[in-house]
Structure 1
Amino acid sequence: MMKTPSGIPVKEVYTEPVNRPDLPGEFPFTRGIQKDMYRGRLWTMRQYAGFSTAEESNKRYHYLLSQGTTGLSVAFDLPTQIGYDSDHPLSEGEVGKVGVAIDSLEDMEVLFKGIRLQDITTSMTINATAPILLAMYIALAKRQGADLSQLSGTVQNDILKEYIARGTYIYPPQPSMRLITDVFEYCSKEVPKWNTISVSGYHIREAGSTAVQELAFTLANGKAYLEAAIKKGLGINHFAKRISFFFNCHNNFFEEIAKFRAARRMWANTTKALGATEPGAQKLRFHTQTGGSTLTAQQPYNNIVRVSNQALAAVLGGTQSLHTNGFDEALSLPTEESARIALRTQQVIAFESGVTDTVDPLAGSYFVEALTDEMEAAAGKYIDRIDALGGAVKAIETGYFQEEIAAAAYAHQRDIESGASIIVGVNKFVEEELPVSGFRVDDAIRDVQVKKIQALKNKRDQPTFLAAMSELDDTARGADNLMPAILSAVEAYATLGEISDKLREIFGEY
């Protein structure tokens, strides 16, 4: 019998009618969170971008906006993600490589030069240092004269998946959860339209999980954040409206669509069980990125087809925003050409395919409805197991998530090597390669960043800086919300590394 990549059996033909009265925009939102979906408004077309210095990334942002991008998505370099300034010894060789280097508010000012933050939505893929980068963004918005109550965007701020799959954590789980819930609380009062967490299944999938595991583990993490927010005293009907999700989309077209439909239904029931009564607090809103790990260095132009297939599945699954990968991303950061093709892929789907003309076009398909139910049931078994272990944090501490993902990744690789799973251009239809020129970041940009840090430290007001760092120290050792102290430190031009080191000194490292 044929099976999906998650191991769900696929019948030769589906004939049983599925009698579901669900309508789009109504609980449990299987068919979409808005009654008119893309007839009312298209998804936000984001392009994940950031490299080298703030100056270089700013040029790329202006280019993408000129090409029709409707939201920015910021990639930060590895030192920024793990709380090291560009002049730290461990930053050597990594500055500006997988994203933009941001060492201070000064860099943030350059990154968004000529872009009014109140006029766009920005997604920042940052986790361990999320409170610091968000504070820099808020400080810049204040300087631009923005109305903070109208500022909108998302900060990923999902540390649990870092322990599970990605590894860019700094502090132990408990102080990390404190930082996250402090962001929840602060933004609920000061930046009410900001999405304070994007619970990420993307990186769980990139680490080798199946679609079912991605669904289950992501929702389990989301449940843990809801419970932490409730414990903090935040009302679920308010907070749950500001939580969003970030899913991957791989190549098995129908399994991915069913995953998104099942996710909405499962989350609606989860929030309801935790006390959410307002529809806005029961809706699962999500961003999708096409699957980076599905892209091949062999025959890279085949990736254009893969990305198109994945993007169409995300749209048919009802995504709220979408990033399409460049075809050359198995080789390097995307070039301007590949970024443009990736954006055009979304625009062709939106304006030429006709799939946006009606809501949930695949609803009622015997196969899609059955597969949605199967995905929900399979993911539900994982969530029951996680609950039995004591919840997501306990499951992380025991290594349960990590072991399950490792086993799935191993099985997938074994299938590729045996030929049981076909990857076109890799283990079938292989041919001699034509070279593709990739994008490269010059190592010399570290010298530029180091000089900027030195100049910043020489010119900042030292008494103001020292007072802000003292306030941060006192707050971290106490129980008050850390965000105001972090914002004060950022505005005093403390660097990201200086703030992170102060918290390392108090919280320790994991």
Structure 2
Amino acid sequence: MSEKYINEIGAAKEKWQAARSKRKDRDVKFETVSGMELNDIYTPEDIKDFDYFNDLGFPGEYPFTRGVQPNMYRGRLWTMRQFAGFATAEESNQRYRFLLEKGQTGLSVAFDMPTIMGYDSDHPRSFGEVGRVGVAIDSLADMETLFNGIPLDKVSTSMTTNAPASILWCLYIATGEKQGVPSEKLTGTIQNDILKEYIAQKSWIFPPEPSMRLITNIFEYASKKVPKWNTVSISGYHIREAGSTAVQELAFTLADGFAYVEAGIEAGLDVDDFAPRLSYFFNSHIDFFEEIAKYRAARRIWARRMKEKYGAKNPKSWLLRFHTQTAGCSLTAQQPENNIVRTAYEALAAVLGGTQSLHTNSMDEVLALPTEKAVHIALRTQQIIAYETGVANVMDPLAGSYFVEALTNKMEEEAENYFEEIDRRGGVLAAIDQNFFQQEIADAAYQYQRAIDKKQRIQVGVNEFIDPDENLEDFEILTIDPEIERKQIENVQKLRRERNNLTVQDNLDALKKAAQGTENLIPYILESVRSYATEGEIVQTLREVFGEYKEKPTF
């Protein structure tokens, strides 16, 4: 638009605002859930410097603001990938079969805390936690059971594991081999994002340097042997769940992504050999437009950095492909049925933001792992969005909205400010060591909770519209039988008695020697899991070489 026309709109807006000022607004702060102040109305003035080709473009074309595929959901709907896993591999296998039967199009594995932390089920630190918040996986035997009857060349699997990601990935590869599926045909994702563990989720094992070595080893091995696999799912989800704002989630997650790219390049890899298989994992919180703007800004920032800073030549390296999960931290224990509505809006924001895959939380996940009924409703929520609402018929339908484009620009601007601060501190690892990320998130979480406590932000059923007679004792939740732990312990101890322990020890010794040097460790881990070495044994072998990470306290 011409400058003259913009000025005319500005003059008309002033006149309109003078007239509307006679009408009193509600006595609330008009801001996003992250605290970003909002104008009362958005006009062309707010995007007067907007360059269609440089800032927006077309779907599937640089800078990918409008999506990574030229036909988006007209060509293929997003993958409907419900996060699931509990108790033993047998029970989780039954849940996976149930979800696939109901129309789920991808699997997403939730592991229990001992597995996440690298302990076998019979380790003393595992007591009381086996199978509680995910499935217990100790060895190849468990992984084979987990995917029994599920052909791994027909399904895409995401595995939420970080510190021991290399081991769980090798277990999956070996399970494919057992099924007769070569690694070249496997598709899926390992989260494998250790930086966000130091920042937010805190489930680390090794210090940053050897952890980054394992990640770059995965980059190298996958580029040659498992080319269809996403080697990292760089996760903002847990950063947001820890209490960050949307801008912090955007900035800290992308900063982690840049750190992985730089680590790969420093390890001697060509950026175009591994960058196309990097993916992202974002939260979809309750503020509808803020979330959509976040996704659009993320794609644009990534494309520009990959092309202009890191010199990636392959357009696939410029693509920010991402999975989304609706916000667990937005769910409430009070009036849990309301969570169905929250999840639906959050899922819709993810779809309008152009996600490649989606997990919808179940209404009861704030109370326990989801029941079959609750997860069924959550999956149906995605299917209703896909097949009934019409939102998948047009690509990036909110493009050109003065509000959405202005908010996208604002998100990008504030993220860039964070990138400058992180660089000033010496990069991501240095900023972690300085507790920069942790303090920023803690401050944001405090402000968010304070707003709820003071009723500056309303949470339905929590600080307003409360049902005093509500009784959650009548609400059905999933419970894990304590007998599960005893059974899993018996299984892993039986495995150790019946396997070839000389072969296991030889493989672990070879892994330890390789860890002391500079070789790629994935082939050694793979040989260990093939011989039925347990996850805990492999982690302990690496721990003896790498040591453990200790976080510096901050006050």
- TM-score, normalised via structure 2 length: 0.91
Partner SS for 1:23: coil
Query: Where do 1:35-74 residues align within 5 Å?
Result: 35-74=70-109
Give matches, 1:29-428, under 5 Å.
29-272=64-307, 273-428=309-464
CA distance in 2, matches of 1:53, 1:438: 18
Which residue in the other structure is 1:434 paired with? 471
Shift of 1:466: 1.6
Q: What is the aligned counterpart of 1:458 among 497, 509, 515?
A: 497
Deviations 1:178-213 (A, max 9, x none): 111111111111101110000000000000000000
Structure 1 residue 470, shift from structure 2 partner: 1.1
Separation in 1 of the partners of 2:200 and 2:72?
32
Q: Which moved more, 1:269-278 or 1:131-140?
A: 269-278
**Contact 1:211-1:256 within 8 A present in 2 as well:** yes
What are the Cα deviations for residues 317-353 of structure 1, in whole angstroms up to 9, with x where unaligned? 0000000000001100000000000000000000000
- Structure 1 residue identity aligned to 2:382: Q
Query: Could you say which structure has the larger radius of gyration?
Result: 2
Q: Distance in 2 between matches of 1:141 and 1:234?
A: 27
8 Å Cα contact 2:66/2:399 also seen in 1: yes
CA distance in 1 between counterparts of 2:232 and 2:39 reads: 38
- SS in structure 1 of the partner of residue 153 of structure 2: helix
- For residue 433 of structure 1, report the CA deviation from its aligned partner: 1.2
C-alpha distance in 2, partners of 1:283/1:293? 28
1:493 aligns with 2:532: yes
Give the partner amino acid of 1:172: P
The worse-fitting range, judged by mean Cα deviation, of 32-41 and 14-23 is: 14-23
What letter corresponds to residue 98 of structure 2 in structure 1? Y
Instruction: Please list the CA deviations of residues 355-407 of structure 1 after superposition, one character each: whole Å capped at 9, or x if unmatched.
Output: 00010000011100100000111111111101111111111111000000000
1:507 is the counterpart of 2:535: no
Give the number of equivalent residue pairs: 510
Letter in 2 for 1:265: R
CA distance in 2, matches of 1:193, 1:233: 21
Deviations 1:190-245 (A, max 9, x none): 10111000000000000000000000000000000000011112211221100000
Aligned AA (1:408): A
Given candidates 475, 480, 499, the residue that maps to 2:514 is 475
Provide, for residues 431-479 of structure 1, a one-character-per-residue CA deviation record: whole Å limited to 9, x for no partner: 1213211111112211111111111111101221121111111111111
The answer (yes or no) to whether the contact 2:33–2:286 under 8 Å persists in 1 is no
Question: Once the 2 structures are TM-superposed, how far is the Cα of residue 116 of structure 1 from its aligned partner?
Answer: 0.7
TM-score by length of 1: 0.99
Aligned to 2:34: 6
CA positional deviation for 1:279:
1.3
Q: Displacement, 1:6?
A: 2.5
Deviation at 1:147, TM superposition (A): 2.7
Q: For 1:170 and 1:151, how far apart are their aligned partners in 2?
A: 27
Compute the displacement of 1:9 (Å): 2.1
SS in 1 for 2:205: coil
Whether the 8 Å contact between 2:119 and 2:536 is mirrored in structure 1 is: yes
Give, in whole Å, the separation in 2 of the partners of 1:384 and 1:7. 21
> What is the Cα deviation at residue 8 of structure 1?
2.3
C-alpha distance in 1 between matches for 2:365 and 2:492: 31
Partners of 1:8 and 1:447 lie apart in 2 by 50
Q: Could you tell me how far 1:128 is from its partner in structure 2?
A: 0.5
Structure 2: segments with no counterpart, 5+ residues: 1-28, 550-555
Give SS of 1:29's match.
coil
Shift of 1:499: 0.6
Structure-2 separation of matches of 1:316 and 1:345: 15
Distance 1:174 1:403 in 2: 22
CA distance in 2, matches of 1:169, 1:13: 45
The range that moved more, 274-283 or 58-67, is 274-283
CA offset at residue 67 of structure 1? 0.3
Counterpart in 1 of 2:13? Answer: none
Partner of 1:245: helix, strand, or coil? strand
Deviation at 1:493, TM superposition (A): 0.6
Q: Secondary structure at the match of 2:44?
A: coil
Deviates more, 1:123-132 or 1:181-190: 181-190
Residue identity opposite 2:310 in structure 1: L
Between the two proteins, what is the percent identity of the paired residues? Answer: 60
3-state DSSP of counterpart to 2:91:
helix
Give, in whole Å, the separation in 2 of the partners of 1:465 and 1:238. Answer: 33
Partners of 2:416 and 2:498 in 1: how far apart?
56
Letter in 2 for 1:445: I
- 2:138 is matched by which residue type in structure 1? D
Which AA in structure 2 matches 1:341? I
Q: Which runs of 5+ in 1 are unaligned?
A: none
Q: Distance in 1 between matches of 2:182 and 2:174?
A: 12
Counterparts of 1:310 and 1:321, CA distance in 2: 13
SS of residue in 1 equivalent to 2:268: coil
**Rounded Cα–Cα distance in structure 2 between residues aligned with 1:258 and 1:496:** 40
Q: Does structure 2 conserve the Cα–Cα contact (< 8 Å) formed by 1:8 and 1:374?
A: no
